[in-house]
Structure 1
Amino acid sequence: MVFDSKFRNTLENIIHNTPHDPYTLPVSKEAFLKIHFQNSDSTSNLEDGIWPVLPFAESDICQVHIIKWRRLSAVEANCKPVYEVDFDITDSSINFKPGDTIGILPTNTDTEVDFIISHLGLNAVKNMNYSLSIENGKKGKIPQHIPASSTIQHVLKHCVDLRGLFKKMFLLHLSRFTEQELERRILEYLCSKEGSNDYTIYILEKRLSLCDIFHLFPSCKPPVQILFEHLPRLLPRPYSIANSPQVNPNIVRICFSVMETGVERKGLTTGWLEDIISNDMNITMKTLSLDDTPNESPRVPIYLRKNVNNFVLPDHDKPIILIGPGTGVSPFIGFLQERESFKNEQILGSAWLFFGCRNAELDYIYKEELERFLQNGVLSKLCTAFSRSNNCEFKYVQDAIYAHGEEVVKLLRVGAYVYLAGDVKNIATQVKDVLIQCIAKHNNCSKDEAKEYLTNLEKNKRYLVDIWN
């Protein structure tokens, strides 16, 4: 991502207005990795070395296709895109239940990888096999997510997070390979004790990536092994499953919003999935108009994650309270589908859902499904909140919970389970606070007693939270 000259000028002005005394820099150890390129076209050793295990893996990695998708939010400039996609898991090792999550293994974009390779002058060796070792007399070990034998292209594409937040130590090492004096001083300042506040403002809050750093500081050209030592692992991204196997065990459905990270940059995985959808739409239009040759979408590597939070439905006769703002409602669609499949066979407990979004006309996702669940008795009560809509009763789900506090506490007294899911950083604390208020008010007890009541719900797995950023 290319930042404009104004941003660079801002950084330069900071340095010009900062005393020239030596900065207090982090204590660092020497670089320790040594790389040796082999004149071989063989790629048989790409997977050599110790590879880290998948986080919370419950299944093997499955290469799946998107077989169906739809946009859930309105197509408007001021409305963040929200999509639903179906993955075909026929004949895979994935056996899921409502409340489970999958992990998607992302890859870095070709644009970013190619830029880094070109910037560092590595085009001639990018696909040559290398071997890594530790420099004589130095201490260190090859990071577990970096294969001891591979190619630079493979590692930058699949193994390291090019958008991971920069640690000060990495900035310090980058500064040592920056030729232009002013650029070097800016990098040193940002990783120094004196520059801590500006490090937060200009590195962390702006979510600068490695490509951003190289654009801003073109004379910064470290050896590639410096990147291998410091770049974090490219981790799988978790997504809640939004359907029940009772409806179709061969489909895993997820719902996601396309995130904006940094300046004009989409989330790595959500942006990739949106690109697949866009290409699929273009292919479909081409097929309809010109070409009858079938096309196949790219495969997406996914795996089932262990449900370590026990975020699963209780017995069907138990009452449940579901709190899911935004895409946080997606796991509850699976819950309600599951209840719907058993409603003629078993007695269902009460089910309340608190849903919130910005605008009732733009991003009220799953509105039709929720209203159907309400009409057929699968859902007992639907409470909505719209933070940017006029003439709505509630702005936030916390407001709706508090207004219905007496009924919520009555449900808790008869054994209700509370589930909270969402992608809002502060929602867990805010919902917990309002539940404590409701418990104190309607159980006629102190705030400390209400906190203990909620703590006991957590211990007994009756208050379950699935929050992501």
Structure 2
Amino acid sequence: MASSDIIDSLFPPVDRINDRVSSLSRPPRAPSVAPSLTYSDESEDQEEDVPNPAEQPRRRRASTRLIASSAADVQRITGETTAQIITRCCGGGCCLNLSPKKKGVEYESVPLPDNDAFRSLNLRLDGVIPTSLSHVHEMPEQTTFLEPIRSSPSRKDPPSPTDSAISIDKSILATSSEAADNHTNANTAVEDSAPAKDAVPEHVDTTIQPPRFVQPHPPYNVFPARIHNARELTGAGAEKRTYHFDLDVTNYPEESGIDFRVGGAIGIMAPNDTAIVDEVLDCLLIPRFQRDKTVLLRTTTGRWPTVWGDDQARELITTRRDLLTWCSDLQSYPANKPLLRVLAEYADNEDERKTLLYLCSAEGQGIFCDFRTGPHISIPQLLRAFPSSHPPLDVLLSVLQQLMPRFYSLSNDPHEEPSLQSGHHQERRRIVEIAVTVHEAHDWRTGVRTGIGSGFFERQAKRFLAATAAGEKAPEIYVPMFKGLMANPLATEFIADGPMLLIGAGVGIAPFRGFVQRRLKTANCANKVWVIQGIRDSLVDEIYSGEWGVHEEELKKIVESRRGEGRYVQEEVRHQSDLVWKVINSVDGRIFVCGSSRGMGEGVEEALVDVAMEKGNLGREEAKKYWKLKKEAGQYIAETW
């Protein structure tokens, strides 16, 4: 039966005609007449049109037909090759292996690990896997090696973990007598040594900053900025906690180029939590006396453990703890097959080994894809789930993802404040400001864990607040940072003249505070600046309340999603269509959007398209092109993540 026949049998033509006539008879929705933020706050009381249930048309069943039941059908319809399909696959080919069991394949029962960590992985395993596995991922190449250090017998100074800042030449590692005996072997080692005295760099305290080889952009190193002040912006009961930080950059090394500026971002080299690092070392059975002992790190290729260094072989002096703390990400990435293959290779328990190999095979591809696209699994969780696997640390480091910097927008221009240190009350310190919202994810053991960057900031904030509560005037608590993206559009497209509409949610509103303060310092032009701020609940989530200047009530509109009408930022953008259209069509008019791309960013972009369609009488595609041209002209600036 044709699709049209099916529809006619379910809904007679007369019903469909009546439905259409009924829909046409209803009056069209009136365009928004919301006033500007400056002159009225009535938009808060406006209600959205709520359809009358009695007027809703009958729900219709859609006619459906199965058009694809296999990978061959998918290829036939799309015209793509197998290789093309795999490039769009979530994990590497589960769409080509839909059936969990195949006929004619022999299976065996394999007991699964009996521990909470394994159960938390939520693998769709029933303990029955094929006896023979095909296309098992090959053991990845080892590119990282940890070796003892050669030294000169005349060197009596104890090695320092902070000497991990230098890339050394092989000749430094050989003693003079060894070099005479064997010129070709400079990698033989003697424990407990350090490089030649002239090769040792200045002292680096890796408890507050990474080793010097973790460079953000050579030749500059990470700067440990002391926390001048810290406070929590959100109240008790807030769904997401946000902290404000004043960072002392008085002694930041001089660099060519642009200075710190609001709208720009600083990079933060956040370390892994000490507890997580210790847990990984425990799982790998590394003795405590070795964890902070200097070793020679030798790599054969890649840029690791630098951040943006060249792809080349390296030899560095470091410690096992520093490598796990500053160089390898232990919780932000999903597990991949090279990692699982390494765990399988070093699993003493045969059942655990078979389970891991199954996940690395073609037969286990579907389960692996579900596992890979689910919640991110931390490295300690994975090691606890397969407790018999104890790979050597250097082998594990060869397959772990690199720990990358996190970027945070400045919430104000640099300014000077009096020093808090005793005896230096007249000294002025140069301060930059940022706001950080704590990101949380599910944790198999504690229920929730924080992100690497935001969790680090929260720990530092709590240390600072505890120290000040105990009476300390200037706690020595640091944040490892570097000057980041000071020339990004959010900073460079800010114009001192012309109207601005600033749209943000959550911590995305932070740089707008600096924009407004800068504008109000240069001229009394509050009638040219408007802010739409999205929050959940103004009682606990409204950050920087009262810090926007004397015109705050006139220029800022608060939109709450969890109180009152429960409205979102994008809905207010539609209500403020007159203001949006006025600003974007004014000389030097700018619209800035800042915040999360998921939800807020996408919703605001769609709302702006709707405004252009309504006010400019444009079609949807024309409206999208309109905003694209405005973005190219620097009038529409969106910084989302």
Shorter-chain TM-score above 0.5: yes
- Structure 2 partner of 1:67: 228
Counterpart of 2:570 (choices 391, 398, 401) is: 398
Instruction: Provide the secondary structure at the position in 1 that maps to 2:598.
Output: coil
Once residues 369 and 130 of structure 2 are traced to their aligned partners in structure 1, the CA distance between those partners, rounded to angstroms, is 20
Equivalent position to 1:326, from 506, 516, 522: 506
Q: Compared with structure 1, are the counterparts of its residues 9 and 299 closer, same or farther at alpha carbon in structure 2 (3 Å cutoff)?
A: closer
Q: Does the 8 Å CA contact 1:24/1:193 hold for their aligned counterparts?
A: yes
1:92 counterpart = 2:252: yes
- The CA deviation at 1:277 is 2.3
For 1:115, the equivalent position in structure 2 comes to: 279
1:254 aligns with 2:434: yes
User: 320, 326, 329: which is aligned to 1:158?
Assistant: 326
Pair 1:129-2:307 in alignment: no
Q: State the Cα distance separating 1:349 from its structure 2 match.
A: 6.6
Matched-pair identity in %: 24
**Separation of aligned partners in 2, 1:339 and 1:47:** 43
Deviation of 1:227 after TM superposition, in Å, equals 2.1
CA 284–306 in structure 1, closer or farther in 2 if over 3 Å, else same: closer
- Tell me the CA shift for residue 348 of structure 1: 6.5
Contact kept in structure 2, 1:322 and 1:420, CA below 8 Å: yes
1:157, distance to aligned residue in structure 2 (A):
1.6
Structure 2 residue matching 1:125: 3-state secondary structure: helix
Partner of 2:266: helix, strand, or coil?
Answer: strand
Structure 1 portions without partners, runs of 5+: 135-139, 288-292
1:290 matched residue in structure 2: none
The residue type paired with residue 147 of structure 2 is H
Give the superposed CA RMSD.
3.0
C-alpha displacement of 1:282: 2.5
Which of the numbers 138, 145, 148 marks the counterpart of 2:315? 148
Counterpart amino acid of residue 638 in structure 2:
V
Describe the SS at the equivalent of 1:113. Answer: helix
Structure 2 counterparts to residues 176-255 of structure 1, below 5 A: 176-245=345-414, 250-255=430-435
CA distance 1:127–1:436, shift in 2 (3 Å): same
One-letter amino acid of the counterpart of residue 489, structure 2: N
Shift of 1:119: 2.2
Which of 494, 506, 520 in structure 2 is aligned with 1:340? 520
Question: Could you say if the C-alpha distance between residues 439 and 63 of structure 1 is closer, same or farther in structure 2, counting changes exceeding 3 Å?
Answer: same
Distance across 2 between alignment mates of 1:21 and 1:15: 17
Seen in structure 2, the aligned counterparts of structure 1 residues 277 and 246 have a Cα distance that, compared at 3 Å, is closer
Instruction: Give the Cα separation in 1 of the matches to 2:514 and 2:364.
Output: 48
CA gap of 1:397–1:169, structure 2 versus 1, over 3 A, is: same
Q: TM-score scaled to structure 2, two decimals?
A: 0.64
TM-aligned CA deviation for residue 28 of structure 1: 5.1
Cα distance in 2 for partners of 1:297, 1:200 equals 46
C-alpha separation between the residues in 1 aligned to 2:117 and 2:454? 29
Alignment partner of 2:559 out of 385, 388, 405 = 385
Counterpart AA for 2:462: S
Matching of residue 307 in structure 1 with residue 486 in structure 2 = yes
SS of structure 1 residue aligned to 2:470: helix
Query: Is 1:411 aligned to 2:583, yes or no?
Result: yes
Question: Distance between the aligned counterparts of 1:9 and 1:374, measured in 2?
Answer: 48
Cα displacement (A) at 1:12: 7.0
Residues 416, 430 of structure 2: 8 Å contact kept: no
How far is 1:219 from its partner? 0.9
Query: 1:436, 1:450 within 8 Å by CA — same for their partners in 2?
Result: yes
Tell me how far apart the structure 2 counterparts of residues 395 and 363 of structure 1 sit (CA, whole Å): 15
Shift of 1:325: 0.5
Contact 1:59/1:304, CA 8 A, preserved across alignment: no
Q: Partner residue of 2:125? A: 14
* Maintained 8 Å contact 2:520/2:526: no
CA distance in 2, matches of 1:201, 1:429: 26
Q: Name the counterpart of 2:208.
A: none
Letter in 1 for 2:503: I
Gaps of 5+ in 2: 1-113, 152-157, 169-212, 307-313, 418-428
- Residue identity opposite 2:505 in structure 1: P
Mapping of residues 412-451 of structure 1, within 5 Å: 412-415=584-587, 416-451=589-624
C-alpha contact 1:104 1:237 (8 A) present in aligned 2: yes
Determine if contact 2:167/2:315 at 8 Å carries over to the other structure. yes
Q: Is the alpha carbon distance of 1:84 and 1:193 closer, same or farther for their aligned partners in structure 2, counting shifts above 3 Å?
A: farther
Return the alpha-carbon distance in structure 2 between the equivalents of residues 364 and 294 of structure 1: 28
Distance change (3 Å), C-alpha of 1:133 and 1:58: closer
The answer on whether the counterparts of 1:318 and 1:349 sit within 8 Å (CA) in structure 2 is no
- Give, in whole Å, the separation in 1 of the partners of 2:364 and 2:544: 47
Once residues 120 and 439 of structure 2 are traced to their aligned partners in structure 1, the CA distance between those partners, rounded to angstroms, is: 28
| SS of corresponding position for 1:384 | strand
1:386 alignment partner AA: E
CA change 1:370–1:9 in 2 (3 A) is closer
TM-score by length of 1: 0.85
For 2:261 and 2:545, locate their aligned partners in 1 and report how far apart those are by CA, in whole Å. 23
**Counterpart of 2:137?**
26
